[in-house]
Amino acid sequence: MRRILLGLAATAIVVTGVLVFRPLPVEPVATDLPPAPPLAGAFEPNRDLESVELVGEGRLPGPEDVERDERGALYAGLEDGTIRRIVRTASGERIEIFSRTDGRPLGLDLDRSGTLWVADTRLGLVAVGRDGRSTVRVAEAGGVPFGFADDVDTAPDGRVYFSDASTRIGPDQIHLAPFEGSPSGRLLEYDPALDATRVLLDGLHFANGVAVAVTGDYVLVAETFRYRVRRYWLTGPRQGESEIFVDNLPGFPDGVSSDGRGGYWLALFTVRIDLLDRVVHPRPWLARLVARIPSALQPGARPYGLVVALDATGRVVRTLHDPAGGHYPNVTSVEEWDDALYLGSIEGRAIGRLPLAPAKR
């Protein structure tokens, strides 16, 4: 018995040592965030997302983002490194492999020439031609390799805007992202005509969704772990400046897209985790400890579906919910085409489609 007890004690010491001293790519700092706003007013829960239709149900593992071409075919990047094309036919849906990046494609955007731009979290910024052939265009900026290319959008002039969520952590360390105290996310611009990339913003708290204004004069980027969206001015008297577009959201902002009329759709991956905000983030020693424990034991995301409509000033004008998280939770992207919303979820197995009544666009 004594040997058993000594063995258990030695194991406990080793485990504790691993938890305390195992190196981390992030260094938590004390962070006091404002309390999460209540789910009231514009955020009053409803059941609108429970009406979402499932496209490709069970056959699209991890469609983080969705794109559509001029013929109405849908595209989604999946966890197996493929980009699938979904075509509606008289007999149903035909799902085919359009391209293989051999990475992990996340954000997608088709430009006016037909090039599909892909933010591939393992490869960087990837261009896919109409024939499905993929080419890595950019893998670093300013001498710093991308750690987590995340979302992408193209401007009317053909320039490509995309996010690098973090230069410190990669896709296999996503569970550490909430604890990244010194932020390393970036917003970037790629000019295909010059084959040149420049960093527009750095020091972002997990730079995520990207959306260019229909006028092309600014670009939005979501900062997931600060619960806000930032605006960067591309033209005009404030060119090169940035500001908060919407702040203190009740959830984790992910994909953002233009609605084509001056407003935006924003996906919130889930509602905020009170334990992180009030207990862990203000205490770096505790954040370091929690970051070191197995990800399965860390505070988890609640299954909750939430999509937000913003006007041109960043004001919340409508929200759509799946409170029980039983139909289409953990939304990571939202796009509007032909009076319908198309949703992506990195944890889902289908694209969501929700028809919009004209009065509720």
- Residue 9 covered by a domain: no
Write the CATH number for 125.
Answer: 2.120.10.30
d(CA 246, CA 328): 24
148 near 166, Cβ under 8 Å?
yes
d(CA 102, CA 80): 8
Q: What angle do CA 171, 174, 176 make, to 5 degrees?
A: 140
99 near 132, Cβ under 8 Å?
yes
d(CA 145, CA 35): 35
In this prediction, residue 281 has a pLDDT band, given cuts at 50, 70 and 90, of very high
Dmax over CA atoms of the chain, in Å, equals 77
- CA dihedral of 29, 32, 38, 41, whole degrees rounded to 10: -100
CA 199 to chain centre: 19
- Residue 302 covered by a domain: yes
- Dihedral sign for Cα atoms in the order 342, 345, 115, 151: positive
**What's the chain's length in residues?**
361
The CA R_g of the chain, rounded to the nearest whole Å, is 21
- Residue 97 covered by a domain: yes
144 near 172, Cβ under 8 Å?
no
**Residue-averaged pLDDT of the chain:** 92
The predicted-structure confidence for 283-333, as pLDDT tens digits, reads as follows: 999 999 999 998 888 878 899 999 999 999 999 999 999 999 999 999 999
- Residue 142 covered by a domain: yes
- Residue 208 covered by a domain: yes
What separation, in Å, do the N-terminal and C-terminal C-alpha atoms of the chain show? 70
DSSP for 283-315, written as a single string: -HHHHHHHHHS-GGGSPPPP--EEEEEE-TTS-
Percent share of the chain, pLDDT over 70: 93
pLDDT of residue 299: 78
pLDDT of residue 182: 77
- Residue 15 covered by a domain: no
The continuous run of DSSP H or E covering 202 comes out as: strand 196-204
- Residue 206 covered by a domain: yes
Average of per-residue pLDDT across 129-153:
97
The predicted-structure confidence for 26-50, as pLDDT tens digits, reads as follows: 888 898 889 999 999 999 999 999 9
pLDDT of residue 92: 84
List the domain range (segments joined by +) for residue 262: 39-360
- Residue 294 covered by a domain: yes
- Looking at 1-10, 80-89, 140-149, 206-215, which range is the least confident one? 1-10
Hey, how many other C-beta atoms are within 10 angstroms of the C-beta on 71?
A: 7
Domain count of the chain? 1
pLDDT of residue 15: 43
Average of per-residue pLDDT across 238-252:
98
DSSP for 301-361, written as a single string: PP--EEEEEE-TTS-EEEEEEETT-SSS-S--EEEEETTEEEEE-TT-SSEEEEE--GGG-
